[in-house]
Structure 1
């Protein structure tokens, strides 16, 4: 009786795909922005959050052009807004760093 060993080659994903796989998941939120004070407030399953943005006007403009709900990524303190972009089916993700208020 003869045994044959077979090896299986694993397909390596490109580095970009690995980075995307490691991207933290966001929590969908509906932020309210005070352009004059720069305050940003929203609710998540863990409760009410109040932050400050250095770019409130840009954030409001991005939210007005958003193609999907904004995502709060608490691990990096960033609100991500996805806007339409020619040539990018998934849109362009814009990140706004928020500071504790």
Structure 2
């Protein structure tokens, strides 16, 4: 099933439009321990501690970030937007984090 959204029309089924919208992230400032792979940050709901299998890549992406990292709790992913030539909005990199 394909959903088409036009900017000039009001969608007839608003529920279907909301379901097609990607999950919104929560802006965070993560602290990463490269040796242990731990990632910690605060959100409005409190303190979060997670583990990353790729802490070095995560730190490199954070160093090149052009926007605040976004935590998407529904899928347990930290999204970092980095600059990319020819792409005005940048490239979004997702890092799946494991809770512990």
Question: Which interval holds the TM-score relative to the shorter structure?
Answer: 0.7 to 0.9
Larger Rg: 1
Distance 2:36 2:88 in 1: 34
The Cα offsets for residues 28-73 of structure 1, whole Å up to 9 and x where unpaired, read as 0000000000000000000000000000000000000000000000
Question: Helix, strand or coil: the match of 1:60?
Answer: helix
Runs (4+) of structure 1 exceeding 2 A deviation are none
Structure 1 unaligned residues grouped into runs of 5+: 1-11
| Aligned-residue RMSD, C-alpha | 1.3
Paired residues, what number? 85
Distance 1:63 1:49 in 2: 18
Shift, 1:22, TM fit: 1.5
| Residue in structure 1 matching 2:5, options 13, 32, 39 | 13
Shift, 1:97, TM fit: 0.2
Question: Taking structure 1 as the reference length, what is the TM-score of the superposition?
Answer: 0.80
Aligned 1:1-101 pairs, distance under 5 A: 12-13=4-5, 22-101=21-100
Q: Give the corresponding residue for 2:10.
A: none
Question: Taking structure 2 as the reference length, what is the TM-score of the superposition?
Answer: 0.81
